[in-house]
Amino acid sequence: MLPVLLERKARTFANTLRSLRGWKLAKNLMFAGAGLLMLTALYGGFWRLLTYLEGVELIGPILSWKLTSMVLLMTFSMVIVSSIIISMTTLYYSFDLKFLFSCPLDLRSIFLDKALETVFYSSWTLALAILPFIVALGRVKGLDAGFYLSYLMLMVPFMMLAGAFGILFSMVVMYSFPSSRTRDITWLLGSLSVAFVYVVFRFSKPEKLLRPDSLQVVAQYIQYLQSPTAAYMPSWWVTKAMMAYSARHWGDFFLNSGVLFAAAALLYWGIYALSGRLYMRGFSGAQSSPRFRGERVESAEQRLAQRLPRLRSFAVMLWKDRLALGRDARYWSQIILIAALIAVYLFSIRQLPLDTPDLKSLISFLNVGVAGFVMAAIGLRFTFPAISLEGNSYWLLRSAPLSTAAVMREKLAVSLLPSVVIGVILIAVSNRLLHADLFVSLLSTFTIIVAAAVLTIMGVGMGALFPDFNVENIHQLESSYGGFLYMACSMGYLALIVGVEAWPVQMHFAERLGRANPWDPRAVALCAAVFVIINLAAAWLPWRLGLRNLERYEI
């Protein structure tokens, strides 16, 4: 039965490729080209890093393999966490499961098909992200094409083992607690795991790997490099196999490869056997809905609607979104990740090796662009999907006595205050840690407030310009064409405002360095005018295009 299901996926993929015509084909080629450029840039950075490490006397080759083992261990951990989150949706809430269960198909075959789908969705982005590192490693080590083929062969059981842990966890949990609430708890646990791995990795200060002088005894450093990195994890088996291939130690290569494939085969055989006993009960329990308990206390939105009848529609929508935020664990899982991101961001600012006050102030100004990037990434998770996450219930809003502009304004109001607060926290704490001067502190704070508002308006507008009411999770929206364009436009906008403000900042530092009459009022006025024009255009254009597109959208 499994070959039939795999053939179904292959034909679906082939039909999708054949249907690409005209603008749709050009759009896919454009985004594929952008992805190749990003991978090329990653390759260039990894090649420079590995070339530097390989050139270190005595310990260079060991250093590069140690870094490889750390990269593979981090990848393995992230795939496990990703599979825990994705397996819940794929195994128990996928839209085609009810159709598949109505077909004359074996239960275990359906499960295995969805398990392989889980492994693919949880690992393909990470597999692509580390591919430039492996290519650069092979080039620096002077290895042949067989090394890359061996790596691709080893990645199959490596990714399957990582995905299997998440599949097994979800299957056992859903069997033990067959309820839709279990999915919410699993999402929260998965997000906590991602945040924990991310924070621990950053707080471990991996930059020390490039500074052996930070250890008191060189022998201890060499011993650390030669010691296994999680010796009983598949990441170390892959590293050992790659090291054996580079040294032409074929016995060690086939031994570690055999262990990897055997472990994957044994684990999946066990999961396949368990699925006949566990899967159906978990799937049946997942279809139940949690019991709803209505609010008995009058909400703040209801009181607002009673006092200000003109804001009644806005208050009702705000009440609806607040309840959705409280009930949907996906939002809370994203908040956990954002908290980890902010903690790591501020920790990285604190660790910057800066000496002079002027250099610290300069970094504080440039920090506006980095903080803006963080806010754009947060907007990609919350603001951009706000319209699309209405889902199949969007027709209720269209049939209600509400204008499309009112719907977009309410989405803007929900996202605006959190965006501004996060931006101010990032800049204010960073300026405090860096001891920035008063001018740079005030300028960066004002800029981040304006940028937060513009990025939020841009997110709602572009979310309306590229709506998709049939998505199953937020991740599909983030990786869509609209999500890519939103991030690209955000980066372009941030680069422009930082570039415009660079001229007045240059005058400020010239004054601090003792230059006579550094300020040019005409240049300052020109920069202020351009700053206003850029912000008005970045806010008005996406909003207007999104509003026009959403008004013409056919349900």
DSSP-derived secondary structure for 222-248: HHHHHS-SSTTSHHHHHHHHHHHHHHT
Task: Give, rounded to a whole angstrom, the gap between the first and last alpha carbons of the chain.
Answer: 37
Residue 191: burial class (beta carbons within 10 Å; 0-12, 13-18, 19+): buried
Highest mean pLDDT among 221-225, 235-239, 312-316, 442-446: 442-446
The secondary structure of residue 299, as a DSSP letter, is P
In this predicted structure, the answer to whether residue 203 has a pLDDT above a threshold of 60 is no
- Confidence check: pLDDT of 532 > 90: yes
Dist CA 252 CA 242 (whole Å) = 10
**426 backbone dihedrals φ, ψ, rounded to 5°:** -60, -45
**Using CA atoms, how far apart are residues 344 and 420, in angstroms rounded to an integer?**
19
CA–CA separation, 194 and 199 (whole Å): 9
Q: What is the pLDDT of residues 74-92, one digit of tens each?
A: 788 778 877 877 777 788 7
Tokens of 240: 């050992």
Residues with Cβ within 8 Å of 405's Cβ and at least 6 positions away in sequence, in order, are 547
What 8-state DSSP symbol labels residue 389? G
- Tell whether the model's pLDDT for residue 57 goes beyond 50: yes
Using 50, 70 and 90 to split pLDDT, how confident is the model at 225?
very low
The pLDDT of residue 122 is 82
> Residues for the chain: how many in total?
555
pLDDT of res. 262: 93
* Torsions phi, psi for 351 (to 5 deg): -85, 0
* Structural tokens at position 515: 């230059």
Taking Cα atoms as reference points, which of 100, 46, 281 lies closest to residue 174? 281
Of 330 and 67, more confident: 67
Condensed to tens digits (0 to 9), the pLDDT of residues 89-147 reads 788 777 778 788 888 888 888 888 888 888 888 888 888 888 888 999 888 888 888 89
Tell me the C-alpha distance between 223 and 354, whole Å.
Answer: 31
> Are residues 231 and 238 in contact, defined by beta-carbon separation less than 8 angstroms?
no
Give me the torsion for CA of 24, 30, 32, 38, rounded to 10°.
-150
Return phi, psi of residue 395, to 5°: -65, -25
The pLDDT assigned to 432 comes to: 85
Share above pLDDT 90 across residues of the chain, in percent, rounded to a whole number? 13
Check: CB of residue 485 under 8 Å from CB of residue 462: yes
Residue 58's CB is within 10 A of a number of other CB atoms, namely 9
Q: How far apart are CA 416 and CA 263, in angstroms?
A: 49
Token duo for residue 37: 């450029």
Identify the CA nearest to 335 among candidates 187, 449, 454, 476.
187
Alpha-carbon dihedral sign for residues 477, 462, 414, 303: negative
Q: What is the mean pLDDT of residues 279-301?
A: 61
Residue 173's H or E segment, with its range, is helix 145-176
What distances in angstroms separate CA 390 from CA 162, 345, 387, 408, 418, one per listed residue?
A: 33, 32, 6, 12, 20
Nearest to 454 by CA among 428, 420, 421: 420
pLDDT for the residue 56: 66
Q: Is the pLDDT of residue 309 over 70?
A: no
Q: What percent of the chain has pLDDT over 70?
A: 75
CA dihedral sign of residues 493, 495, 342, 444: negative
d(CA 125, CA 128): 5
**pLDDT band at residue 212 under the 50/70/90 scheme:** very low
Q: What CA–CA distance (Å, rounded) separates 112 from 279?
A: 11
Give SS3 for 172.
helix
Mind listing the pLDDT tens digit for each residue in 351-408?
666 667 777 787 888 888 888 888 888 888 788 888 887 777 777 777 777 788 888 8
Name the CA dihedral angle for 462, 463, 469, 472, rounded to a multiple of 10 degrees: 120
For residue 513, what pLDDT is reported? 78
